[in-house]
């Protein structure tokens, strides 16, 4: 379909923009040209040090001669639809390297930690020949688990002092981590945090026992250890023929996102009630909600279409 110069950041950037704006042909091309990049997801609450850690981690891969793509997702405004994308502030070091491409994405109205087309952008990077793709999720919190569907290895970042041991046994992020990082380890009872995680964390569905690593990202402490743990997990997936399962998961997730995107758009349009009726036709909720909306419309709307 096309000739792309992978060394041209301008070309890559324009392609990402196209995908972000729902270019179906390009998404299809990307899927057909997936080469098998290593995909790493970094998640954790805002301020836990995701961006800094990614910057240090990316340098390790770059020094091995690998091509690295970094995707940072930040939240969009529910009111204006705009966004402030600030992940790059902590990634300035990467400007010294040629073989890395960094891109900030707005979540564009989607919850779950990624945007609708993040999987498509990842496929694009993969197809373009990047060896390693690192994704930073929005960082809002515990139910941010979309990344599980895209990344081979999930790194969940925790910091000392936040939350007690009950946080560790909750559903959500604690269930998807392959590696737990206790970052900012110099700023509180890090060992206590590690013990909490150690005591309560269970093996993952595929048998992998999560690793726990203590880091101080700003001082580059234990980043090698983190990198090794990521490699070890990736080898584990490879050795047990689990990489293809991850790819299946990613493609199914991608399809679901495309459907949700279309559906969300339709629900915002004037035919939303028809969509609801056709999807929920047997369900009593449709009728009652529509009835109430009608009453409210008559009472308060004065002819306005609610």
Name the site residues for another protein (rule: CB under 8 A): 9-10, 12-14, 16-17, 20-21, 76-77, 79-86, 88-89, 92, 95, 101-104, 106, 108
Pairing between β-strand 100-106 and β-strand 68-74 as defined by DSSP bridges: parallel
| CB closer to another protein, 85 vs 266 | 85
Instruction: Report the distance separating Cα 37 and Cα 54, nearest Å.
Output: 17
CA nearest to 156, candidates 6, 25, 52, 40:
40
CB of 254 to another protein, least distance (A): 21
CB of 230 to another protein, least distance (A): 24
| CB closer to another protein, 9 vs 66 | 9
CB of 108 to another protein, least distance (A): 8
| CB closer to another protein, 94 vs 185 | 94
Residue 20 is inside which H or E element, if any? helix 9-20
Residues in the chain: 306
CA nearest to 53, candidates 21, 94, 112, 23:
94
| CB closer to another protein, 12 vs 217 | 12
Q: What is the DSSP letter of 113?
A: S
| CB closer to another protein, 134 vs 212 | 134
Q: What six digits make up the tokens of 267?
A: 């629900």
CB of 92 to another protein, least distance (A): 7
Instruction: Report the distance separating Cα 45 and Cα 120, nearest Å.
Output: 24
Output the 3-class SS for 216-235.
Answer: EHHHCECHHHHHHHHHHHHH
CB of 206 to another protein, least distance (A): 35
CB of 49 to another protein, least distance (A): 16
Q: Where are the alpha helices (DSSP H) in 137-242?
A: 166-169, 173-176, 190-200, 223-239
CB of 193 to another protein, least distance (A): 29
196, HSE (Cβ side, Cα atoms, 13 Å): 22
CA nearest to 134, candidates 76, 75, 59:
59
| CB closer to another protein, 63 vs 80 | 80
| CB closer to another protein, 23 vs 277 | 23
């Amino acid at each position: 379909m096309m000739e792309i110069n992978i060394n041209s950041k301008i070309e890559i950037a324009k392609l990402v923009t196209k995908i972000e704006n729902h270019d179906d042909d390009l998404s299809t091309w990307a899927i057909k040209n997936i080469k098998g990049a290593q995909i790493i997801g970094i998640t954790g609450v805002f301020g836990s040090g995701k961006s800094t850690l990614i910057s240090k981690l990316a340098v390790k891969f770059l020094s091995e001669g690998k091509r690295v793509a970094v995707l940072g997702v930040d939240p969009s405004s529910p009111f204006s639809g705009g966004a402030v994308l600030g992940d790059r502030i902590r990634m300035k070091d990467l400007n010294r390297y040629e073989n890395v491409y960094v891109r900030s994405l707005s979540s564009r109205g989607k919850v779950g930690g990624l945007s609708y087309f993040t999987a498509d952008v990842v496929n694009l990077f993969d197809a373009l020949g990047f060896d390693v793709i690192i994704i930073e999720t929005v960082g809002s919190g515990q139910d941010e688990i979309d990344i599980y569907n895209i990344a081979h290895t999930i790194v969940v970042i925790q910091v000392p002092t936040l939350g007690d041991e009950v946080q560790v046994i909750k559903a959500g992020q604690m269930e998807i981590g392959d590696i737990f990082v206790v970052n900012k380890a110099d700023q509180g009872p890090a060992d206590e945090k590690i013990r909490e995680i150690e005591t309560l964390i269970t093996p993952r569905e595929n048998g992998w026992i999560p690793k726990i690593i203590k880091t101080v990202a700003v001082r580059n402490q234990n980043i090698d250890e983190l990198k090794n743990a990521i490699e070890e997990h990736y080898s584990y997936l490879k050795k047990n023929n689990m990489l293809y399962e991850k790819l299946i998961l990613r493609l199914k997730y991608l399809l679901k996102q495309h459907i949700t995107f279309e559906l969300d758009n339709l629900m915002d349009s004037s035919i939303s009630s028809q969509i609801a009726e056709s999807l929920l036709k047997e369900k009593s909720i449709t009728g009652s909600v529509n009835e109430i909306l009608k009453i409210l419309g008559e009472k308060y709307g004065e002819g306005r279409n609610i």
